[in-house]
Structure 1
Amino acid sequence: MTRALTLSPPPVATTPPVRAGRFTFAALAAAAASFSMLQSLVSPVLPTIQHDLRTSQSTVTWVLTAWLLSAAVATPIMGRIGDMYGKRRTLLVALAAIVVGCVIAAVAPNIGVLIVGRIVQGLGGAVFPVSFGIIRDELPPARVPSAIGGLSALIAVGGGLGVVLAGPVVAALDWRALFWIPALVVAGTFALALRFVRESPASEHRARINWLAGVLLSGWLVALILPLSKAPAWGWTSGRVIVALLLSGLLIAAWVLVELRSAEPLIDMQMMRLPAVWTTNAVALLFGAGMFATYAFLPQFLQTPRSTGYGFGTTVTGAGLAMLPMLVTMAVAGFVSGPLTAYVPKKVQLLLGTAIAAVSCGGLTLFHGAYWQIFVATGAFGVGLGLTFTAMINLIVATVPAGQTAVASGMNANIRTIGGSIGAAVASAVITAHATPSGLPSESGYTAAFAVLTGMLALAAVIAVFVPRTRSA
């Protein structure tokens, strides 16, 4: 059921360690932040793209959905290939895919070509797990938590920065600049990685890829994420949603069975069952739901017309600027989190981060009538994001064998993405169920949605209590 894939062992570069360490991190940081930004950069300007390309609202949402599905499928598979055959090699392929995808999207004459470009961009999802693996391979153990903290902070900030920059970029230039600018940045990152990132040692124990497991993994990810992301438009009780969810359940069962019986699994189920891994992934699922949904719906809340009695009537740019406190505190917390592990265990940071995020989202639920209340809530939320992002990845990296770092961190990122799809779908359903006569959401809809997200984040904090302490945790 598997097909052999033979690749020559990756060459080992001889870049001086000190210089390589500094520039290696710069290349990884630029790659991760750029890809993270592509996730949220187009969200605020979908109406502009819809009008310019003369397409429908339901079709233009595929600009987001296609990227999400592509990244979800590529992340764990490419992460495994990186563990087996060389992380530098895989990183360069991922960066090249981002550049090509951005160029395709930037010159797209119609929505179909734009969606193809987004699919190609999604293949760059491997930059997350491969970057964490390179850090573990290249840096001394004492420096790994700090480096992972910095990279995690940049990933989190990149996602939020996309929301902030989208409006000003489109206002000053054009929506196509949202792809030209990342293409240029990532092209420079490719050159930096080509020069300064050294090849990590390939696995000596794996010479084959279980392609059946890869097909089943891809199948259940698509069958799960697609209906979750489209449920608000299709309807939760529609045949398409129900059939897709049932199919995802069958494919998950088949995938687990194949992996358990395989001598060379794509994703080691024994690793996934490690207490620190599955509990951290459970936190990632719920935390992703709260984080992504807040990213998506808080700007919409701020842009609601003042005539509703609760909205702020801000522009896309103004709504993005309201997220700045979150980006600042997220960056600070993420960068501090790594060095802090010498004094505050990773598990404690995870618990603190999820609890702070839950409290801040609860504050947003109760108090959202003035700008200063929004700023305080988002600022606190950023602290929670920074601590949680870093703690999750550090816990995974400290738990799994070195040869499984990329695939394990890739699955953690994927589980966050699945959680984000669930959170966005649930929040959308709650908000649209509370509409005013004008068709706009009522204040109670947003309040109820933020309350639900608060509950998800609080449950994540409860699960964090049960995450076992890892080595040096």
Structure 2
Amino acid sequence: MSAAPTPAPRSGGLVGVLALAGIVAALMQTLVVPLIGDLPALLHASASDASWVITATLLAAAVATPVAGRLGDMFGKRRLLLASTAPLVAGSVVCALSSSVAPMVVGRGLQGLGMGVVPLGISLLRDVLPPEKLGSSIALMSASMGVGGALGLPFSAAVAEHASWRVLFWVAAALSLLVGVLVHFFAPTGPVAPSGGRFDALGAVGLGGGLVALLLAVSKGSVWGWGSATTLGLLVAAGVVLLAWAFWELRTRDPLVDLRTTARPQVLMTNAASVLVGFAMYAQSLVVPQLLQLPEATGYGLGQSMMAMGLWMAPAGLMMMALAPLGAKLSAARGPKVTLAVGSLVIAVGYASSLLLMGSTWGLLVVTLVCNTGVGLAYGAMPALIMGAVPLHETASANSFNTLMRSIGSSVSAAVIGVVLAQLTTDFGGHPLPSEDGFRVAMLIGGGVGLAAALVASLIPVRPAPAPAVPAEEPAPAAETAA
């Protein structure tokens, strides 16, 4: 039985609510950045154990995002949006009350479970908005992740410097609760898939297990050693489990992820480009904060405080929101494939500019503004490409899988850039620090990956929208002749 229709949504209010949900989700990821150095003392744990506060959110989000997408297609996006805010609230409260590493890791894991709100929100927009408003709304929703990251750093740094760190999590809990209330009152129900399929629990376990093994190896490889038995064992296990998962998904009646749909050229190439864009997006966010905060005595560091660093980084995230309407207009005029390719090229240009502008705070501001302009264009185009190639009842699942691809790209970026900076070091007062050459190599890698993303985007075979209407008209004359 379909739910009673909700009054036609006011697009501005709905997009605003869903964009706020995306901002809050992104805020969860940057919330603990200013605390990284202090976490061992705050939680009475070793630095290695405290690092799980970061890793737990990454792993939980990777597992929960595709599951939330599939459940959203089965039971309704609004219902899953509401369900996703519950672990955001609960996790924030658990973190605020934590005094040791174990409950903090549990709380951060719960926060990760709520990260499906962005692909769910984008999918709900496709369900309920008129076509003429969909492009700009999707671009704005996609850009909300950048805004959350931009606001999160200075906000977290200010609170960490001037108040108890627990305030961060209480504010996060309040914002998550606000999102849940707004979704309840303003988000329409939207259509629910008519299929009576069952949830693929075994597929969820298989995908979760494979992703956990893969991301653990990628995120902890530099600590455990890339050639260690633990790292190699996890990589092998990830390969075996994910292959077995794919075999199961291709043979089960109601798969968690329809791999046949995912294998369609438009979807497959868009996901490949998404991995590369995720890599390129994250590389500069690892390099620029370090350059801003390293001591001026190094000769290339800029000696900024954590608070100042956050403020220098904030405009770049806001740029993603400002560029959303332009990206939507470009997609409407030339197609989202062009927007994705242009965005990737802009990212590469931003990295290239860093070779001349790394020596000043204003120069790095320009670099981040250009790079995030490209990211904003690319992120707004990806959901449009995915949704243009999948049926309506698979929208949330396909968008969630695309979001997962971006996250994998970011995780690989962290590992690769971490290795580069760890290998190219300089001695500073008896302490090894990443060298200027290391930062330049990292930025060159980011630019190269941006160019690769543009190449992949240019090869996406976009299916023409009006094609299905032509064959339906052609049999009529033949029928008349036969008569």
Task: Give the TM-score range, shorter chain.
Answer: over 0.9
Deviation at 1:200, TM superposition (A): 2.1
Residue 242 (1) aligns with residue 232 (2): yes
TM-score (norm 2): 0.92
What is aligned with 1:443?
A: 436
For residue 265 of structure 1, what is the aligned residue in structure 2?
A: 255
2:204 aligned residue (214, 217, 240): 214
Match of 2:87 among 66, 82, 97: 97
> Structure 1 residues 97 and 215 mapped into 2: Cα distance closer, same or farther (>3 Å)?
same
Q: How does 1:362-401 map to 2 (within 5 A)?
A: 362-401=352-391
Q: Give the CA RMSD over aligned residues.
A: 1.6
Partner residue of 1:106?
96
Task: Choose 172-181 or 87-96, whichever is displaced more.
Answer: 172-181
Deviation at 1:61?
1.4
**SS at structure 2 position matched to 1:436:** strand
**1:125 maps to 2:118:** no
Match of 1:25 in 2: 15
Q: 2:59, 2:215 within 8 Å by CA — same for their partners in 1?
A: yes
SS at match of 1:322: helix
Corresponding residue SS for 1:323: helix
- Aligned residue number for residue 4 of structure 1: none
* Aligned mates of 1:386, 1:250 — CA distance in 2: 35
CA deviation after TM superposition for structure 1 residue 319, in Å:
1.2
- In structure 1, the residue matched to 2:194 is 204
Paired residue for 1:12, among 3, 18, 40?
3
Aligned match of 2:458: 465
Question: Secondary structure at the residue paired with 1:16?
Answer: coil
The one-letter code sitting in structure 1 at the alignment partner of 2:15 is F
Asked if 1:227 corresponds to 2:217, the answer is yes
- What residue is the counterpart of 2:481 in the other structure? none
| Cα distance in 1 between the residues matched to 2:356 and 2:224 | 31
Residue 14 of structure 1 and its aligned partner are, at CA, apart by 4.5
Deviation string, structure 1 residues 404-429 (Cα, Å, up to 9, x no partner)? 11111101111111111100111011
Instruction: Specify the code of the residue in structure 1 equivalent to 2:223.
Output: A
Q: Give secondary structure in 2 for the equivalent of 1:264.
A: coil
Deviation at 1:341, TM superposition (A): 2.4
Aligned-pair CA distance for 1:161: 2.5
Q: Tell me whether 38-47 or 66-75 shows the greater mean CA deviation.
A: 38-47
User: Which amino acid counterpart does residue 342 of structure 2 have in structure 1?
Assistant: L
Q: 1:221 to 1:365 in 2, by over 3 A?
A: farther
Q: State the alpha-carbon separation in 2 of the partners of residues 386 and 332 from structure 1.
A: 9
1:179 match: secondary structure = helix
Q: Is the 8 A contact 1:325 1:382 kept in 2?
A: no
How far apart are 1:328 and its partner, in Å?
A: 3.1
The yes-or-no answer on 1:189 pairing with 2:182 is no
Q: Give a deviation string over 1:158-196, Cα, whole Å, max 9, x none.
A: 123322322112123222222111211121111111112
Q: Which amino acid aligns with 1:450?
A: M
Q: Tell me which residue corresponds to 2:340.
A: 350
1:301-351, CA deviations, whole angstroms, 9 ceiling, x for partnerless residues? Answer: 211111111101111111111213312322211233223322232111111
Instruction: Report the counterpart of residue 58 of structure 2 in structure 1.
Output: 68
Counterpart of 2:443 in structure 1: which amino acid?
F
Q: Secondary structure at the match of 1:55?
A: coil
| 1:366 shift after superposition | 4.4
Rounded Cα–Cα distance in structure 2 between residues aligned with 1:104 and 1:222:
23
Q: Report the CA distance between 1:78 and its aligned residue.
A: 1.1
CA distance in 2: counterparts of 1:225 and 1:302, whole angstroms: 28
1:109-152 alpha-carbon deviations (Å, 9 max, x no partner): 21111110011111102212211111011111221111101101
Q: In structure 2, the residue corresponding to 1:440 is in which secondary structure? A: strand
Offset of 1:470 from its aligned partner? 4.2
Counterpart amino acid of residue 417 in structure 2: A
Q: Which runs of 5+ in 1 are unaligned?
A: 1-8
Partner of 1:3: none
8 Å Cα contact 1:330/1:382 also seen in 2: yes
Of the three residues 424, 448, 451, the one matched with 1:455 is 448
Give the % identical residues. Answer: 37
SS of residue in 1 equivalent to 2:165: coil
Choose the corresponding residue for 2:405, options 375, 398, 415: 415
Partner of residue 5, structure 1: none
Q: 1:102 Cα deviation (Å)?
A: 0.7
Which residue of structure 2 lines up, in the alignment, with residue 85 of structure 1?
75
Q: Does 1:43 align with 2:36?
A: no
Residues 164 and 276 (structure 1 numbering): CA distance in 2 closer, same or farther, change over 3 Å? farther
Query: TM-score, structure 1 length as denominator?
Result: 0.94
Contact 2:43–2:50 under 8 Å retained in 1: no
Question: Deviation per CA, 1:76-112, whole angstroms, max 9, x where unpaired?
Answer: 0111011011111111110111111111111112111
Looking at structure 1, the residues matched to 16 and 384 of structure 2 have their Cα atoms a distance apart, in angstroms, of: 19
**Contact 2:292–2:304 under 8 Å retained in 1:** yes
Q: Aligned letter for 1:283?
A: A
Task: Out of 319-328 and 266-275, give the one that drifted further.
Answer: 319-328
Q: Is the 8 A contact 1:160 1:295 kept in 2?
A: no
Describe the superposition over 1:362-400 as per-residue Cα deviations: whole angstroms up to 9, x where unpaired.
Answer: 222443012222121111112101100001111112221
Q: Secondary structure at the match of 2:223?
A: helix
Judging changes above 3 Å, is the alpha-carbon distance between structure 1 residues 340 and 454 closer, same or farther for their aligned structure 2 residues?
A: closer
Q: AA paired with 1:347?
A: K
Matched with 1:359 is 349
Relative distance call for 1:250 and 1:365 in structure 2 (3 A) is farther
Cα distance in 2 for partners of 1:43, 1:319 equals 12
Distance 1:215 1:445 in 2: 39
- Out of 161, 167, 180, the position equivalent to 1:177 is 167
Cα displacement (A) at 1:13: 4.5
Unaligned runs of 5+ in 2: 467-483
- Does structure 1 conserve the Cα–Cα contact (< 8 Å) formed by 2:93 and 2:107? yes
Q: CA deviation at 1:471?
A: 4.5
The residue that corresponds to 1:431 in the other structure is 421
- One-letter identity of the residue aligned with 2:457: A
The Cα of 1:201 is off from its aligned counterpart by 2.0
- Measure the CA separation in 2 of the matches of 1:160 and 1:229: 23
In 2, Cα distance between equivalents of 1:352 and 1:44: 33
